[in-house]
Chains A and B, each alone.
Chain A
Amino acid sequence: MSSWTVRIIVGAAGLVATLGLWATATAPNPDADSDVREVAATLRCPTCVAESAADSTAPLAAGMRASIDEQLRAGRTPEEIRGWFVERYGEQVLLEPPRHGIGMLLWILPLVLAPLVTWAVLRGRAGPRTSAVILAAASAAMLAGIAGTAWLVAGRQDGARPANTQVARPVDVLQEAAADSPGDVRVRAALAHALDATGRVADAAEQYRAAVRLAPLDDNLVYRAAFALSRIDRAEEAAALLEPLVARTPDHAEAVLLLGTLRHDTGDPRAGELLRRFIELAPDHPAAEQARIMLADGVAP
């Protein structure tokens, strides 16, 4: 083998190895999301009512998850990350009392008090020997409970999950994805679309609303939310979403048409102006003829 052939082979091997390392380093880590979720599940979303940062769709919760992800990648431990959040939001950001200081007392006291109270209650009725046996039994039951919980938690952390051998439906997959990434507006929108496609319009409307909370100025998303709401007889809510949309994007033809139609249905004279604008914007739209018909109905002032 010539020296050039050897050099080319060595060079190619080096390149493949480098590309492999690069691909490994940049590939999304499937465990990263679950690690973020695990830490986020122990933190309260400060702008929500009784929701963890893992489950909330609030923008701030999305920021918390992004921050957790960044810190985990930097090699910080979950405990350090929780400490970082406590420094910024106080201990109320923790969903569970901290396992130190006064927080630790909240964990330990019930475990100590429960057997003691049992013993105190029964001491007067049973003999000292019986009450000692009861105290021992209550303590043993408590310890067994703690050990069982610890074992369950350890099992969960090992990632032991049943294999899913069934082919999942798109809605189910998207629902899981939305549960894992509640702040991902694209996942929410895709789930809403899938629900809409399967005829679950009310569920779709709720998902669209959640997506709109994440991206309130996304005109198309707002329009879709309003369209879904209008189909489940929640016209007022739909109109409330459309009004600011039409004000900021007056050339959004579909939104103009939908708001015009909703107003037409309630006999609102402002429908005329909207329907005329829609016809101007999209004279060849399949619904333009319908708009002309509505105008001819006599809603125009």
Chain B
Amino acid sequence: MHPTVRRALLWSVAVLALVGVLAVLSAVREPSRSAPGASAPRLSGTGLDGATHDLADIRGTVVLVNFWASWCAPCREETEVLVLAGERYADDGLAVIGVNSQDRPRYARRAAAAWGADAYPNLLDEDGRLAVAWGVVGLPETFVLGPDRTIVERHKGAVTEQWIDDTVVPLLAEAGAS
């Protein structure tokens, strides 16, 4: 092969490889509105109990926003953890709000009553619009909001008592100390 041709081809491959790497890096960039550090998107609407609920009205220094559905088996497992945490740390400023997403209201009500999720407010998100606005990919997913309602942490999958101890309790202590 002629040296000029080879050089041209090599340069082309090198440029394409560089562009490819940059494209991959740009594609995996974290979203800006649903990532830790961002202000929590708005969250309001009708609840499973028929009342209107709004995140802005939720008291609590730390708020857990939990997206779940009655058809999601891990959601059932984590509900007990959330209910317990809500009860145990209520005086420390923890509030829990659920968003029942991509579900039928009657199934959601049945599940909430059976699992104990009716211990805290739950918004109905039948068509999944709220989940999309929060950048949720799969259920369950839980967001931790700080006192200024910015997203401090997001957890994909079922939360555990260990996660509450490691993530939520220190935040409550920090908020209580300040």
Which of chain A's residues have a CB closer than 8 A to the CB of B19?
Answer: 102, 105-106, 109
A162 and B15 alpha carbons, distance in the complex (Å): 44
Q: Quick one: given A47-B138, A90-B28, A91-B29, are A102 and B22 in contact (CB under 8 Å)?
A: yes
Which of chain A's residues have a CB closer than 8 A to the CB of B137?
Answer: 46-47, 60, 89
How many A residues are at the interface, by size bracket?
Answer: 35 or more
Which of chain B's residues have a CB closer than 8 A to the CB of A86?
Answer: 31
User: B51 at interface (Cβ–Cβ under 8 A)?
Assistant: no
Which of chain B's residues have a CB closer than 8 A to the CB of A87?
Answer: 31-34
User: A117 at interface (Cβ–Cβ under 8 A)?
Assistant: yes
How many B residues are at the interface, by size bracket?
Answer: 35 or more
User: A17 at interface (Cβ–Cβ under 8 A)?
Assistant: no
Closest A residue by C-beta to B20: A106
User: B77 at interface (Cβ–Cβ under 8 A)?
Assistant: no
Q: Is the CB of A88 within 8 A of B133?
A: yes
User: A290 at interface (Cβ–Cβ under 8 A)?
Assistant: no
Closest Cβ of chain B: how far from A104's Cβ, in Å?
11
Q: Is the CB of A66 within 8 A of B127?
A: yes
Closest Cβ of chain A: how far from B114's Cβ, in Å?
10
Query: Which among B26, B33, B134 is the interface contact of A102 at CB below 8 angstroms?
Result: B26
Closest Cβ of chain B: how far from A244's Cβ, in Å?
10
Query: Which among A63, A102, A123, A218 is the interface contact of B128 at CB below 8 angstroms?
Result: A63
Closest B residue by C-beta to A85: B132
Of A63, A86, A116, which is in contact with the most chain B CB atoms at under 10 Å from its CB? A63
Closest Cβ of chain A: how far from B84's Cβ, in Å?
25
| Interface residues of A, dominant DSSP | helix
Closest A residue by C-beta to B25: A102
Q: Is the CB of B5 within 8 A of A62?
A: no
Query: Which among A89, A117, A217 is the interface contact of B31 at CB below 8 angstroms?
Result: A89
A218 and B71 alpha carbons, distance in the complex (Å): 11
A65 and B16 alpha carbons, distance in the complex (Å): 35
Query: Which among A62, A66, A117, A216 is the interface contact of B12 at CB below 8 angstroms?
Result: A117
Closest Cβ of chain B: how far from A46's Cβ, in Å?
5
User: A250 at interface (Cβ–Cβ under 8 A)?
Assistant: no
B-facing residues in A61-111 (Cβ within 8 Å)? 62-64, 66-67, 70, 85-92, 97, 101-103, 105-106, 109
Q: Which residues of A contact B (CB under 8 A)?
A: 46-47, 59-60, 62-64, 66-67, 70, 85-92, 97, 101-103, 105-106, 109, 113, 116-117, 120-121, 123-124, 215-218
Q: Which residues of B contact A (CB under 8 A)?
A: 2, 4-5, 8-9, 12, 15-16, 19, 22-23, 26-34, 70-71, 101-102, 104, 107, 125, 127-129, 131-138
Q: Could you list 16 examples of A-B contacts with CB < 8 Å? A: A67-B133, A70-B129, A85-B132, A87-B32, A87-B34, A88-B133, A90-B27, A91-B26, A97-B23, A102-B19, A103-B23, A105-B22, A109-B19, A121-B5, A215-B104, A217-B104
